Chain A
Amino acid sequence: MNTESTKQIWQILETIPDPEIPVISVVELGVIRKVEFTDSETLITITPTYSGCPAMKVFEDDIIKTLEEKGYPKVVIKTVFSPAWTTDWMSEVALQKLLDFGIAPPQKGTNDKGVLFASGPKEVPCPQCKSTETKLLSQFGSTACKAAYTCSNCGETFDYFKCI
């Protein structure tokens, strides 16, 4: 395996945006798990954020198209489910980008698994006015990975990227 080429591929992948949240790349999202070469293939291992995430097909098509355009041989996407994707894999830079985009980033360590009742993390600051006077509107927001919150201070409704 050629480490130089692997590095280049990672750099190319960093230019491919998440179709739903175009400010972060597929690398920053943490869905790319491995880049490998075999004799005739470029093998990219990915893992879905949510098992039914409709954006995954777009990820795959974008990765194949971008790499093939750059002249890489037969690009093959392999999907793995283990270890399961977690919001902990998103970089600090990615979290800041989410916030700047108007999405409250996941608050690490707040995924209280095993509880029948929960109303999400205690405080989700509004990405617009930074007020902590916010409340959960629905555990399911515009996509499966987000919850809908509303800010009592500025009146904005915003997405919160759930911790999983």
Chain B
Amino acid sequence: MDINEALIKYCLRLGDDAMILGHRLSELCSKGPYLEEDIAMTNISLDLFGQTRMMYTTAGEIEGNGRTEDDFAYKRLEPEFQNVLLVEQPNGNFGNTMARQMLFSVFYYHLFKELQSSSNEKLAAFAAKSLKETTYHMRHSCEWIVRLGDGTEESHWKVQDALNEIWSYRHELFEKDEVDETLISAGLIPDTATFKSAFEASVQEVLDRATIEEVEEGWKSTGGRIGHHSEYMGHILPVFQSIPRTYPNSKW
């Protein structure tokens, strides 16, 4: 695979992950469990949209056909999105939202730490910038997992259930295909295998503090990176894209 083609796909994947999770969190705007957390959810969402914009803009620049961030966000169909299934999963209760966020943020924290030394200037700058934000997201969600797990009997079983449900979706974050292999051999991105054990150790530390003894291991999620999504995605896009699809090319 041509390096530029791989780079465009990689940028879109990172952008899609951030955008869909950002959208999920934005659904909690005015519906958070209490005021401070409501604000936290939308702040994290904003950071993720900012990261999305950087990646979509970079993809458009490399592609060189004049496609903008808005074209990537609003004018693609479901099979063209290449986000992991993890980020599509519904908000559920607050424990579900935090379990999803913890796996996502811990993974991206470790990825950005490596990616910031990429020889690609844009990727390195993106990672260094995003790392600062993701570190806050990670702490926020890790502290909540501990607080819920080591909280009341009810919060404990709820977060245990939440972890059981989301656990299988972490595998996809480490998947590699031709896109990744091309960029890894060119020295542009880190091999996710190099920080997998660090990711696992971080998550284990959170689970230990949260007094979660074991999380059920089940199937392995797959498909998002080639555009095969869960049913949820089919409900996210019509909402996310409703304005530009109803009023094409409108400006505001």
Contacts and interface: CB of A to CB of B under 8 A. Distances in A.
The secondary structure that dominates the A interface is loop
A139 interface: yes
Given A54-B46, A84-B125, A139-B139, A116 B202 contact: yes
A138 B39 contact: yes
16 contacts: A51-B50, A52-B48, A52-B53, A84-B132, A114-B135, A115-B139, A116-B138, A117-B142, A117-B143, A117-B146, A119-B143, A138-B37, A138-B39, A140-B43, A143-B43, A144-B43
A58 to B, nearest CB: 14
B140 A140 contact: yes
Interface of B: 36-37, 39-40, 43-51, 53-54, 106, 113, 121, 124-126, 128-133, 135-136, 138-140, 142-143, 146, 202, 205-206, 209
A139 B40 contact: yes
A148 B139 contact: no
Nearest to A85: B129
Contacts of A162: 136
The secondary structure that dominates the B interface is helix
A141 B53 CA distance: 23
Contacts of B45: 52
Looking at A53, A80, A138, A164, which has the most chain B CB atoms within 10 Å of its CB? A138
A110 interface: no
A82 interface: yes
B39 A140 contact: yes
A9 interface: no
Interface in A119-164: 119, 137-144, 148, 162, 164
A48 interface: yes
A50 interface: yes
B135 A113 contact: yes
A117 B139 contact: yes
Contacts of A142: 39
